[in-house]
Structure 1
Amino acid sequence: MSKTIKKSSRCLCGQVEIHLDHMSQQVGACHCSMCRTWGGGPYMEVNCGTDVSFTGEEHIKVYASSDWAERGFCGVCGTHLFYRLKQTGEHMVPIGLLGDEPGLVFKSQVFIDEKPDFYSFANQTQTLTGPEVFALFSSADES
């Protein structure tokens, strides 16, 4: 069962505040090499949809990391703020930025084929390889 959670949070230095009108309770992990390079480990996130706003937007830096997505971070302290899909505007927000919200469920892992051998999560989740993720997005484009 999913419920709508409204939430606000701040970066480490407090210059940027993120306001979410909807926060999923399903946590996902991305093991792609780009996410691991960006954050030093898998990117643990929740989909917060498109109803996301910011205070201190002038401090946000955005890096277009691929043809389909961009990554936002605070230009002052470097806190990761979002991974945003360009086509839909959906924001995947780092779970660490959102605190210990009750009812969260670790639901999925993507780019499981790029996960290094030195770590493994015990949770049973849905898993997708990189090619499966790309096929999922390309079939959505054809709809």
Structure 2
Amino acid sequence: MTEKATRQGSCLCGAVRYDVTGPLRDVISCHCGQCQKSSGHYFAATAATLENFRLTEDRGLKWYRSSNWAERGFCGECGANLFWRRKDSDQVSILAGSFEGDTGLKTSRHIFVADKKDYYEITDGLPQYDSYPDDPDSN
């Protein structure tokens, strides 16, 4: 997790804005089919506890239940993908590109690499996993 700081982020049109005060998890790049379908590529997301996360504008926020245990948050006005969360978690994953300015974050690993598309290679030398270690659907 990165140091305690306050960071702001938003969707493309500003109908969803948020603040995070506190540590953020390193970025994880997810190459699963759901992330591909919802973003057109793979997700690069960090995470914060709900305690440290605050919506400052939510007029455009929509949630889509993508499985029986998780949902994805996006802006219903501009369509920007922003969040991912498990129903039973005290954390929200935040797409790293939605933060304003530099983040100071580092990518730590790639998950669901068996599902990646054939038009790109992962060559950054970071650890690669075929699933997520605590994925409820992988048990």
Q: TM-score with structure 2 length normalisation? A: 0.85
Number of residue pairs the alignment of both structures matches: 138
C-alpha distance in structure 1 between counterparts of 2:118 and 2:58, whole Å? 38
Amino acid at match of 1:16: V
Residue deviations 1:45-79 (CA, integer Å, cap 9, x gap): 11122221112323210001012211001111111
Query: Is contact 2:10-2:100 (8 Å) kept?
Result: no
Structure 1 unaligned segments of length 5 or more: list them: 139-143
State the SS of the aligned residue for 1:36. helix
- The residue aligned with 2:31 is 31
Change (3 A) 1:76 1:136: closer
Change (3 A) 1:97 1:80: same
C-alpha distance in structure 2 between counterparts of 1:91 and 1:66, whole Å? 16
Q: TM-score with structure 1 length normalisation? A: 0.83
Runs of 4+ deviating beyond 4 Å: 135-138
Determine what percentage of the aligned residue pairs are the same residue: 28
- Asked if 1:106 is matched to 2:93, the reply is no
Query: Is contact 2:15-2:59 (8 Å) kept?
Result: no
State the SS of the aligned residue for 2:18. strand
Query: Is contact 1:8-1:20 (8 Å) kept?
Result: yes
- Asked if 1:91 is matched to 2:97, the reply is no
Change (3 A) 1:97 1:131: closer
Note the aligned Cα RMSD (angstroms): 2.3
Query: Is contact 1:7-1:23 (8 Å) kept?
Result: no
State the SS of the aligned residue for 2:44. strand
State the SS of the aligned residue for 2:36. helix
Change (3 A) 1:2 1:53: closer
- Asked if 1:126 is matched to 2:127, the reply is yes
- The residue aligned with 1:141 is none
- Asked if 1:49 is matched to 2:43, the reply is no
